[in-house]
Amino acid sequence: MNKKERYKLFIEYFSKTQPNPKTELHYRNPFELVIAVILSAQCTDKRVNLVTPKLFEKFPTPEHLANASYAEVFEIIKSVSYPNNKSKHIVEMAKKIVQDYGSVVPKDIKELQKLPGVGRKSANVIASVIYSQPAMAVDTHVFRVSKRLGLVSENAKTPLAVEKELVKNIPKKYIPHAHHWLILHGRYICLAKKPLCEICQIKHFCKFIEKNQEKNTSNTDVNEI
């Protein structure tokens, strides 16, 4: 099976089974999503969702958070990973949004990356989720699953390389959805250490499965000689 056929089957399957996938981060507006995305770096969405309600209640607007101290924020988010750095990032992010963007979260990916704590991956998430832009955020799940399915080449060694291949091959209207499809599949089925291949519904076009079958067949042939 070639790459074009894999993409076709990938889009067909998830378009039917998950036509409107959503981020698992809880938020009510663009500003809250930016905070949640910053907090989610190297941390689970479940953990982030436990701390954000209190944070959003105490600092409901960019202005409120911009006037907060790092210590105040730290006390609320201290159970997430790297709370010291993230406390500083979200306070400084709020200040920049207030001062440079009139308290409105920017749409442009380059502008989003100017916000403290927001790198390319995070900017792509925000642009995709809030503004439905054809931006592909590549986290560990997207990187792993796209490789296993055979959607990207073995030569794609970096998140940026994987991002470029996915964006090149997925029609623009599906890119915001495809980001979630790959993440959710990686989070619940195509696990890093032990993928649940036995219950996977897309293994018929998975390159990882295909390779393992070929390997097993080859080993069987050798043993029979």
Radius of gyration of the chain (CA): 20
Cβ–Cβ under 8 Å, residues 24 and 50 = no
- Please pick, among 22, 139, 147, 203, the residue that the annotation labels catalytic: 139
Question: Does the active-site annotation cover 121?
Answer: yes
Q: Which residue has the tokens 């600092």?
A: 59
- Report the C-alpha gap between 106 and 33 in whole angstroms: 12
- Report the C-alpha gap between 79 and 19 in whole angstroms: 34
**How buried is 104 (Cβ within 10 angstroms: 0-12 exposed, 13-18 middle, 19+ buried)?**
exposed
Q: Which residues, 6 or more positions from 86, have their beta carbon under 8 angstroms from its beta carbon?
A: 38, 39, 41, 77, 80, 117
Catalytic residues: 121, 139
